[in-house]
A and B are shown apart, each in its own frame.
Chain A
Amino acid sequence: MTPVIPPTTSHVFRDNSVKALANPQLQRALSNIRRDFVDSRGRALADLPEEEYAALKAEAKALKDHTLAHLDFYLERFAAKVAETGGEVHWCATAAEARETIIALCKRYNAKTIAKGKSMVGEEIDLNAYLEAAGLRPIETDLGEYIIQMKGDRPSHITAPAIHLTKEDVGDLFAEKHKRPRKSEIPALVGEAREMLRPRYHEADIGLTGANFLIAETGSSAIITNEGNGDLSQILPRAHIVLASIDKIVPTLEDALTISRILARTSSGQEFTVYTTFSTGVRRAGDVDGPAAFHVVLLDNGRSKLLGTKQEPILRCIRCAACLNHCPVYKSVGGHAYGWVYTGPMGAVITPALLGIERSGPLPNASTFCGRCEAICPMSIPLPSLMRHWRETEYERKGAPAAYRHGLGLWAFVAKRPRLYALATGLGARVLGCFGRGRGRFSALPLAGGWTGTRDFPAPEGATFRAQWRAAHGRG
């Protein structure tokens, strides 16, 4: 069977955005971000003195930079510790190798059903489509992932995958797929999902989870969740597979705890996430539950080539989603416009790195360069400058669009001739000021459709900057 993989549409971000802005259902769903995520983040940070948060942030950045500079060492130590505790690490350079490894493990354990905790790396490698094509039955157990698996969607947010849907959408979907009376309230919908999923954990032969951390000191993997589905997925089936990328490694338990403290606060506005679980090897003699087999599928998929480049800081990302939740572009167009699995500012940086800039050219432009993503990032990733760097790469690759080049050429011609510049700008300001008086802005201007198509252009007030400077300082 051929895997059914949704197409990537990152290269048509503009078209996707236009459709997203015109979709009232999506706009209603996106309005929930503003209300909740952002408010609660502010509250949780308020409980921690500002200087302590700043110190935690600095330590988290430093420990990740240290780890990346010694990544080979810590990965090898991690793998050795996993082996000591009865587990096995599988080193996979590409997405295809990771998928083949997981399918081979399913065969080894004669598995049919796989209970899955939430894994963005799983989305990155289209794991479900390949598992299904191999005759296996992957079941997403995180509520958001369960919903989008049922709908055949990609996640539209890295921590809240079904944020593009309203409770009415979920009610319709559950009624259709569960063949039960339609429910319209959130508690009833959550209860129905709980009831439908509980037997699945028992049926599963393998539990597959992602990882927030891999800990070199102990060979543990750690997941941070609120629902408890990732835990049920890994303790009930007889084998536990962890799928994680190489940038998830940290040296010690202390280092994992430092990042956990800031992750909860910045991601969901909690003091600490409900479940932080450390899994080490296989069940021990005398244990009455837990998996008898433990495998870590360690994926590179293009990350190692970012080391030592300008894009290296994105490898510090802990997938907290604060940059999505505070991004005016993300909040307007939602995650699907980004065309793949990673969205918002972090997606605009990591997608070109993993998919290639030729398949995601417009993403680094998905920014107003307001700088909120960088200000909010708990790992101090300079997202706007990383986006700018991808823009430069894309410009070098194929140059700017023709209209942009001609416009810039004309501007350069005028700007190099001060009198002509004064004449042109003075005339422009007077004419626009005249017509725009009253409303103070234009919703349409000739030759400026690129700007006014999506926002208003402010009408100039008074003289040009140069004329005002001359009036104030007496010279030009």
Chain B
Amino acid sequence: MSGTDGKAAILGNIRRALGRGELSGAARAECEARLKEHPSNLIPARSKLPKAEQVELFVKMAEAVKASVTRVARDEDVPGALVGYLKGQNLPSDVVMAPDASLDRYGWQSERMLSVRRGRPEDADQVGVTGALCGVAETGTLMMASGPDHPTTLNFMPETHVVVLRAEQVVGAYEEGFNILRARGATLPRTVNLVTGPSRTGDIEQKIELGAHGPRRLHIIVVGD
């Protein structure tokens, strides 16, 4: 009975239980307004800070959930920071990178050891590099939206995920990130990921173990101050 009949049955059951017919009048207008205006609820005060302190809070919260963070001052420092991180972790310097034009500015060819392929990852790829829509100071969360420039598989398949985030991309709360997306278009991208630290599981004896299915390591390079 799924489909149209199922719809009529479920809506009928709900309306009978609520003791009314289809929603109308002022009550309907109130619900319509809530969807249109999407009013904000309480946002914890701790991220309401000047920009520089928001960036500091972002870094502190990200490190608290076992992401690692490197801060660099200039664009040209980014490739070196990536290579340095990979070397420190004994990881190969072959990376798969999002085909995101905003990552072109960093001049990756300056690091001759680095081999960069742009596109979506395969199982053999050990390191993925992407940008992000924004960083959320409240909990050290990265917000990433799918699109031709950012395959979602890059956020989940490689064991190591490196994110290049510009300091000015740090916002206080998740709500600000969604407002950036709302300003871009009426429909959300297919996938919006809020990522707070590397993958983990507590499913065996409630002991936390990193790298359950998604990345074992999440490294964030914050550019600028």
Contacts and interface: CB of A to CB of B under 8 A. Distances in A.
Interface string A91-127: 1111001101100000000000000000000000000
Given A70-B23, A257-B175, A275-B195, A226 B155 contact: no
A32 interface: yes
Given A85-B187, A147-B203, A190-B204, A231 B152 contact: yes
Given A217-B35, A228-B212, A290-B190, A70 B206 contact: no
A84 B18 contact: no
Interface in B178-198: 178, 187-198
B42 A258 contact: yes
B120 interface: yes
B211 A254 contact: no
Contacts of A273: 196
Contacts of A187: 209
Contact of A91 (B10, B201, B214): B10
A63 interface: yes
A401 interface: no
Nearest to A190: B209
B191 A290 contact: yes
Interface string A261-286: 10000001011111111111111101
Q: Which of B7, B38, B194, B201 has the most CB of A within 10 A?
A: B201
Given A272-B141, A305-B13, A35 B206 contact: yes
B213 A280 contact: no
Interface residues of A, number: 108
B214 A252 contact: no
Contact of A304 (B14, B212, B214): B14
A26 to B, nearest CB: 13
A280 B203 contact: no
Interface in B21-51: 22-23, 27-28, 31, 34-35, 38-42, 44-45
Interface of B: 1-3, 6-7, 9-11, 13-15, 17-19, 22-23, 27-28, 31, 34-35, 38-42, 44-45, 61, 64-65, 119-120, 123, 138-139, 141, 146-148, 151-153, 155-157, 173-175, 178, 187-207, 209, 211-215
Question: What are the nearest 9 A-B pairs in CB distance?
Answer: A228-B214, A91-B6, A227-B212, A307-B17, A286-B148, A144-B203, A304-B13, A91-B7, A272-B139
Interface of A: 29, 32-33, 35-37, 48-49, 52, 55-56, 59, 63, 69-77, 79, 84-85, 90-94, 97-98, 100-101, 141-144, 147, 160-163, 165-167, 170, 186-187, 189-191, 193-194, 197-198, 202, 216-218, 220, 226-229, 231-232, 235-236, 246, 251-255, 257-258, 261, 268, 270-284, 286-290, 297-298, 300, 304-309
Given A186-B205, A257-B173, 19 more contacts: A56-B41, A59-B41, A73-B23, A97-B1, A100-B2, A101-B2, A167-B205, A216-B35, A217-B35, A226-B201, A227-B200, A227-B203, A257-B41, A272-B141, A273-B196, A278-B188, A280-B188, A287-B148, A304-B17
13 contacts: A52-B44, A186-B204, A218-B188, A227-B201, A228-B214, A228-B215, A246-B10, A258-B41, A278-B188, A280-B188, A284-B147, A289-B146, A298-B10
